[in-house]
Amino acid sequence: MMEKDKLRKADFFSGSVIVFLGLFIISQAMQMPMTDSWGGVQNVWFVSPALFPLLVGGMLTLLGILLVSTALKSVGGDGIRSVFSYLASAEFVSFLRHPLVVRFYSIVFNLIFFVFLMVPRIDFFPAAILFLLVSFFLFYFGDHSHLLKIFSVSVFMSFLLLLFFLLGLDEKLTSLTAFAADWLVLFFIPALCFVARRTVKEKPELKIKYRRSIIIAFVAPLTIGIIFKYFLLVPMPCEGLIVQLLDNIWYAELWS
């Protein structure tokens, strides 16, 4: 268990993050209508959809402020300054390279990459396959040097994809090919598999894990996605290249 002094120093930073999160929720909730008219009926403020996020954001902000103030009372300004000094030291850099820490922010980064960058913009099937491949190659192989390499590749791929959208290339390339972003992710998949294959070629025990990872990463999204899309009639979060191809197959004349 961490010492109380260290816990209070950590509370200062976690409390600050909670405050910023609460303020962000409040700012987003303020953009929702407090009153409106639907079908000639005037809705009053106490049935506004903004009330619940405003309550959550306000409580988070208040609790975050209390956590920060408790930490400051316990360790004082000198204790907080010592933490900032530690964050600027080489010791902190070595801590960030510790295997357990790398695994933690690899998980967080991969989830953010999938949920916020790929899910709203990339066809579900290639997005899910790439997400699973990165997850399997990061953690299933159990080798720290391999983890660092795959993590670096995933960061590079996310940077390219983010740049692709920021520059508007997905719209500019529409005249040349439809679903340009999907094609880019489809290129990432074999590239990632190639990098992972090179790191396991001299380790027979990892070759089995490598093949197993690829099989599950492809079979699981395709199976689940097809069941939800065509049997349960649930639309995918983003339907692009692969969904269009499956639509053409599923609704082809040969099925009628």
d(CA 157, CA 12): 34
Q: Judge if 72 and 111 occupy the same domain.
A: no
Q: What is the pLDDT of residues 177-189, one digit of tens each?
A: 888 999 999 999 9
Other beta carbons less than 10 A from residue 175's beta carbon: 7
Q: Give, in order, the Cα–Cα distances in Å from 247 to each of 185, 229, 243.
A: 20, 10, 6
pLDDT band at 45 (very low <50, low <70, confident <90, very high): low
Tell me, yes or no, whether 134 and 249 share the same domain. Answer: yes
pLDDT at 132: 94
Q: Are residues 20 and 108 in the same domain?
A: no
Q: Rounded to an integer, what distance in angstroms lies between the CA atom of residue 83 and that of residue 24?
A: 25
**Mean pLDDT of the region 165-194:** 89
pLDDT for 69-104, tens place per residue? Answer: 888 888 777 777 777 777 777 877 777 777 778 888
Examine the fold and report which residue of 94, 127, 158 is the final residue of a domain before the chain moves on.
94
Asked if pLDDT for residue 1 goes beyond 50, the answer is no
| Whether 152 and 213 share a structural domain | yes
User: What is the domain count for the chain?
Assistant: 2
The model's confidence at residue 115, banded by pLDDT at 50, 70 and 90, is confident
Q: Which of 94, 117, 136 is the last residue of a domain?
A: 94
Chain mean pLDDT for the chain:
83
Q: Which range marks the domain in which residue 74 is found? A: 4-94
Task: Give dist(CA 88, CA 233) in Å, integer.
Answer: 53
Alpha helices in 30-50 (DSSP H): none
Domain identity same for 43 and 107: no
What pLDDT shows up at residue 2? Answer: 47
pLDDT at 148: 82
Q: Are residues 152 and 171 in the same domain?
A: yes
Whether the CB-CB separation of 93 and 212 falls below 8 Å is answered with no
Ramachandran class of 142: left when φ > 0, alpha when ψ lies in -120 to 50, beta otherwise: left
Of 156 and 11, more confident: 156
107 and 89 inside one domain? no
CA dist., res. 11 & res. 112, Å (int): 24
| Same domain? 230 vs 103 | yes
Residue 47 has pLDDT above 60, yes or no: no
Question: Is the pTM above the cut of 0.75?
Answer: no
Based on the fold, state whether residues 79 and 122 are members of the same structural domain: no
Residues 148, 120 share a domain: yes
Instruction: Looking at the structure, tell me whether residues 201 and 76 fall in a common domain.
Output: no
Distance (Å, rounded) from C-alpha 75 to C-alpha 127?
A: 46
User: Which residues lie below 8 Å from residue 120, measured CB to CB, with a gap of 6+?
Assistant: 237, 238
Domain boundary among 94, 122, 150: 94
In the prediction, which pLDDT does 131 show? Answer: 94
**145 and 62 belong to one structural domain:** no
**pLDDT score of 3 more than 80:** no
